[in-house]
Amino acid sequence: MTSSYPAALPLLTGIVAAAVTAFGLTGYGFSAIGRGGPGAVARGGAALAGALAAVAYVWGLVSLFLDESGTAQACQDANPSLYGQVSGYSVSYLPPALNCRMSSGGSYAAAVPGFLTPVMTGCVVIVVTLVLIAVAEHRRIPHGEALRR
């Protein structure tokens, strides 16, 4: 999903959707941990890690949105010494990124903090791990006991 310029509508839609997702996952995560039971910490932890990933995504999209009208300025601020070689821009919405393309063929990142993609990736790994643990905990419960819940 790469385009030449960031578009306001996809950015705003992504911001709202990710913010609502983060809010919902946070509520579910804390309530799951509070209810207790087998796999509760794994389920709740997975939801909270997912919420953190969604917050990081919102941060990245907000960074793109704020620099939408000043793409050239973002490239200049990110690396003033290379700005004279910039021939274009590319925007990615997943993960959020603004790349300043140089006429020599390379590119460099601007606008979006560089740590957001590793944070999102780490959170997704944690989510998958905790979901697998929660599923294993659920399957470990004797069948009759699971029906009584």
Q: What pLDDT, on a 0 to 100 scale, did the predictor assign at position 9?
A: 84
Express each pLDDT in 66-89 by its tens digit. 876 567 788 888 888 888 888 888
DSSP strands (E only) in the chain: 2-3, 86-93, 96-102, 107-110
pLDDT above 50 for 1: no
- pLDDT classification of 10: cutoffs 50, 70, 90: confident
Q: What pLDDT, on a 0 to 100 scale, did the predictor assign at position 141?
A: 64
When pLDDT is averaged across residues 46-75 and rounded to a whole number, the result is 88
CB 96 within 8 A of CB 57: yes
What total number of domains does the chain contain? 1
Q: What pLDDT, on a 0 to 100 scale, did the predictor assign at position 3?
A: 41
CB 61 within 8 A of CB 93: yes
Range of the domain at 113: 2-147
Greatest mean pLDDT among 46-55, 62-71, 93-102 lies in 46-55
